[in-house]
Amino acid sequence: MSSLTTSPAGAPRATPRPSGGGLPGAVAAEWTKLWSLRSTWYFLLVAAAVMAVTAGCIGTVSHDPAASVARPATLATVYGVEFVVAALAMLSVTGEYATGSITNTLQCVPNRARMLVAKSITLGGVAFGAGIVLAAIGVAAGGAAMDAGVFEMSYVAGQVLAIAVHLALLSVLTVGLAAIVRSSAGAITALFLLLLIVPMILQSIPADFFTDLAQFLPQAAGAQFMADEAELYGPVAGLLILVAWAAAFLTAATVVLRRRDA
Partner 1 sequence: MLTLQGLTKRYGEKTAVDRLTLDVAPGKITGFLGPNGAGKSTTMRMILGLDHPTSGTALIKGKRYADLAHPLREVGALLDAKAVHPRRTAYRHLLAMARSHGIGAKRVDQVLDVAGLGEVAGKRAGSFSLGMGQRLGIAGALLGDPEVLMLDEPVNGLDPDGVLWIRNFLRSLAAEGRTVFVSSHLMSEMELTADRLIVIGKGKLIADAPMADILSRSSRNSVRVRGPEAEGLRLLADRLLEEAADVTWESAGELVVTGLSVERVGDLAHERHVRLHELRAVEASLEQAYMELTAGSVEYGQAPPPGPGVQPLAYGGPPLPYGQPHAGQGEGESLVV
In the complex, which residues of this chain contact partner 1 (CB under 8 A)?
1-4, 6-11, 13-15, 18-22, 25-26, 28-33, 36-39, 95-96, 99-104, 106-111, 259, 261-262
∠ CA(183), CA(186), CA(190), 5° rounding? 135
Nearer to partner 1, 39 or 251 (CB): 39
Nearer to partner 1, 88 or 241 (CB): 88
Q: Are 122 and 40 in contact (CB under 8 A)?
A: no
Nearer to partner 1, 36 or 154 (CB): 36
- Find the shortest distance in angstroms from Cβ 54 to partner 1: 29
Nearer to partner 1, 2 or 154 (CB): 2
- Find the shortest distance in angstroms from Cβ 90 to partner 1: 15
Nearer to partner 1, 28 or 196 (CB): 28
- Find the shortest distance in angstroms from Cβ 20 to partner 1: 1
- Find the shortest distance in angstroms from Cβ 138 to partner 1: 30
Nearer to partner 1, 21 or 65 (CB): 21
The C-alpha R_g of the chain, in whole angstroms, comes to: 21
- Find the shortest distance in angstroms from Cβ 120 to partner 1: 16
- Find the shortest distance in angstroms from Cβ 176 to partner 1: 20
Residue among 122, 132, 125, 145 at smallest CA distance from 48: 132
- Find the shortest distance in angstroms from Cβ 244 to partner 1: 28
Nearer to partner 1, 105 or 159 (CB): 105
Q: What is the rounded CA–CA span in Å between residue 30 and residue 228?
A: 35
CB atoms within 10 A of CB 92: 25
